[in-house]
A and B are shown apart, each in its own frame.
Chain A
Amino acid sequence: MNEFYYFIRNILLPSLFEGTLVSIKLIILSIPLGLILGVLIAVGRVYGNKIISTLCTVYVIFFRGTPLLVQLFILYFGLPSIGIFFSPFASAVIGFVLCSGAYHSEYIRGAIQSIKTGQMMAAEALGMTRFKAILYVILPQALRRAIPGCSNEIIYLIKYSSLAFMVTCVELTGAGKIIASRYFAYTEVFLVIGIIYLLMVSVVTKLLNMLEKKLEIPGLG
């Protein structure tokens, strides 16, 4: 038993530390960028002209319809053949942003469409441009309604960030795999990794719940 603690405290945790940091960096970059992309795509689909809305729809079909792993492989292994090179970390972030953006956009689009048309009409009647009406009237309400769906996607993102290892970005899961095979301690290593993901997810869930509470509109719901 002592040996087990020794392994975890002195070998496993220190060597997972770096990987955890990489995972956190991947996640912290991808969450806001994915959300911003999701908002843009959703607005493009609902309010864009024919061309923009079609482009946005095609985007969503592609990124929701193909495995993330395939997207990552194309980014990291495929694009160099046409002269575009990304580092492993960059490929992972770009892949996560593009994929989560597609999912976020669906939650946000649904939320935008659930806002009564009278809101847009009232904003325009005040003399707001379409853009201002979307920015100050529609999105603040739609994004609140999209929080539960987007939270779900953010939590998925934390977990699928482990796919970064497939494009040689050594994050938490990757670091674990290296250690596990060196010491042949798969159970211990992946149990600990599981717990670390669970902790990250719990912290983010808590934060998102606080955000939802804070943004709640008094008198509604």
Chain B
Amino acid sequence: MNKMQNDNDIVLRVEDIHKCYGKEEILKGISFEIKKGETKVIIGPSGSGKSTLLRCINQLTIPDKGRIWLGGEEVTHHKKDINRFRQKMGMVFQDFNLFDHLTALKNVEIGLMKVKKMDKKEAREKAMEELKQVGLERQADLYPAQLSGGQKQRVSIARALAMDPKVMLFDEPTSALDPELIGEVLEAIKKLAFGGMTMVVVTHEMGFARSVANEIIFMENGKILESGIPYQFFSNPKYERTKRFLNKITELYGE
């Protein structure tokens, strides 16, 4: 009984994901699972396959091998129906990828109207609500080019949240931001984490990772080298390689 319940709690399961680009193997068998309300933070040097992994999860990149389940349904099995799964996996990109021709509000609305088929009025109310959640209701009618980087990223979080996703995927959400704008975005993500959202976050922000992660996953060369709860991971990493990475990243980014 207990076991069953645990299984039902698993929102996302990733099993043995492989991906090659040409001869280069980017992902060499990644597996992990994430329970409802958990936040997993993936760290690792650039080129270790973190972004590719996230894109494999929502099939923006089709993995060569491996399986993915979302809430008990196999994503990799229903290739034709992938759009139904993508709706339930909110994605936030490093460089925002807001739709440049639409206002902040319409960026949030468009998925509701064109994918979820909500009517205009309902979509507008919901979109406004999401913008409020990230503190941008006053910027609703501004276009992406009129927003700061931090505001853009918060709009893109609102856009993903509006679809009521089961899991949120963050691909280095603060890496393209000026240092003084990082805080507002991390705050918005923290708020989500503490609000019970299930999330996978790729980031270099170690202080943030420490405060929100249920588990830290360290990736290198397309593999998970080690993982653990933040306290143990940061204070006592198993491998010398992890230690070196942590030292380096602390030097670069601070705590």
Q: Which residues does A use to contact B, with CB under 8 Å?
A: 116, 118-119, 121-129, 132, 136-137, 140-141, 144, 217-220
Contact = CB atoms under 8 A, between A and B. Distances in A.
Contact of B114 (A116, A121, A132, A219): A132
B144 interface: yes
A136 B145 CA distance: 19
Interface stretch (B7-15, B98-106, B217-225): B98-106
Contacts of B143: 217-220
Contact of A121 (B93, B111, B142): B93
Contacts of A220: 100, 143, 145
Contacts of A144: 101
B60 A128 contact: no
Contacts of B134: none
Interface size of B as a range: 20 to 34
A144 B102 CA distance: 13
Contacts of B90: 125
Contacts of A129: 83
Contact of B97 (A122, A136, A141): A122
Given A126-B110, A127-B115, A217 B83 contact: no
A77 B253 CA distance: 74
Contacts of A127: 83-87, 111, 115, 163
Contacts of B111: 126-128
23 contacts: A118-B95, A119-B99, A119-B100, A121-B60, A122-B98, A124-B60, A126-B160, A126-B163, A127-B85, A127-B86, A127-B111, A127-B163, A132-B114, A132-B115, A137-B99, A137-B110, A141-B100, A144-B101, A217-B101, A218-B142, A218-B145, A219-B146, A220-B145
A144 B99 CA distance: 14
Contacts, number: 76
Question: Which 7 residue pairs across A and B have the least CB separation, nearest first?
Answer: A219-B145, A127-B87, A122-B97, A118-B97, A219-B146, A126-B111, A125-B91
Contact of A218 (B83, B86, B114, B146): B146
A100 to B, nearest CB: 25
A195 B108 CA distance: 50
A126 B86 contact: yes
Interface centre among B95, B111, B144 (most CB of A within 10 A): B111
A125 B86 contact: yes
B101 A128 contact: no
B169 to A, nearest CB: 8
Given A129-B83, A140-B101, A122 B93 contact: yes
B58 interface: yes
A141 B101 contact: yes
Nearest to A137: B99
Contact of A128 (B83, B98, B144, B160): B83
A136 B93 contact: no
B15 to A, nearest CB: 21
Contacts of B160: 125-126
B166 interface: no
A55 B206 CA distance: 52
B159 interface: yes
Contacts of A122: 91, 93, 97-99, 156
